[in-house]
Amino acid sequence: MDQQIQEIKQWLYQAGDKIKSSLSAELSIDEKSSRTDLVTNMDREIQNFLIDKVHQNYPEAKILAEENGYNELTSMSGEVFVIDPIDGTLNFVLEKENFCIMVGLYEEGRSKLGFIYNVMQDELYWGGRGYGVFCNEKQLERPEDKALTEGLIGMNAHMYLHNHYQAQAIGKRSMGVRMSGCAGIELIAVIKGARVAYLTNLSPWDYAAGCAILDAFDFRYSRIDGQSLSFNGREHFVAGTPKAYSQMIGML
């Protein structure tokens, strides 16, 4: 397990170096579902790089990933790597920051390890059940179990604007709403205690790594109806401290 952790960390650092070296080059950018849903040549290159690493080192493992036909699995049985090559692609294209590389490792549908690499800050958050949570090599303490009224909440802009699922009422009950446009950044904020909760709409590669890390702190997450995440398609997602999560589920 320790060897596996070190391997995956090295993959992420190498992938991050590839992205940093590409920042001065012209990107090839395509639209997917809309003009704000983008994919670049670097998304594809980084995903291919990480998939190659999995195939070389764990040939029996399954892969669930955002691009190039890897976005569906019939079963989460066995060992599964869930990969988001660049989470926050719009930020990557327009801001050149506030994006992450994410890898979640699951076994028989149960979280094992999660890795969220904030490339431009060179901060790798990682951890899992029985291992604790780390930023690079520094172990983090479990944040205080604060209520929704005691902290900030990260939220999906579309949900808040259109008041889906009582989003505005939930925001008003918190100390304030924040929107980064990157699930990895928001989940890092919950992991650090900078947010007490996160309400959004995500695909499996957006939440898998963060959920594995949240499991190490026994923080709560689910679909907004309280049911377990399906790892199949987009799902309305809620996560937070036990107190904040329970308050939000009650309002949803």
Kindly report, residue by residue over 67-124, the tens digit of the pLDDT: 888 999 999 999 999 999 999 999 999 999 999 999 999 999 999 999 999 999 999 9
CB count in 10 Å sphere of residue 75: 10
pLDDT at residue 37 is higher than 90: no
2-140: CATH number: 3.30.540.10
Tell me the mean pLDDT in the region 24-43. Answer: 89
Model confidence over 115-150: pLDDT tens digits? 999 999 999 999 999 999 999 999 999 999 999 999
Going by C-beta distance under 8 Å and a sequence separation of 6 or more, which residues neighbour residue 212?
Answer: 104, 105, 106, 111, 112, 113, 114, 127, 128
148-251: CATH number: 3.40.190.80
Cα four-point dihedral sign 225, 228, 234, 239: positive
Rounded Cα gap, residues 15 and 44, in angstroms:
12
Letter for the amino acid at 77?
Answer: S
Which contiguous run of DSSP H or E holds residue 38? strand 38-40
Rounded Cα gap, residues 197 and 170, in angstroms:
10
Listed in order, the ranges of the chain carrying CATH 3.40.190.80 are 148-251
Q: What is the dihedral of CA 157, 163, 168, 170, to 10 degrees?
A: -100
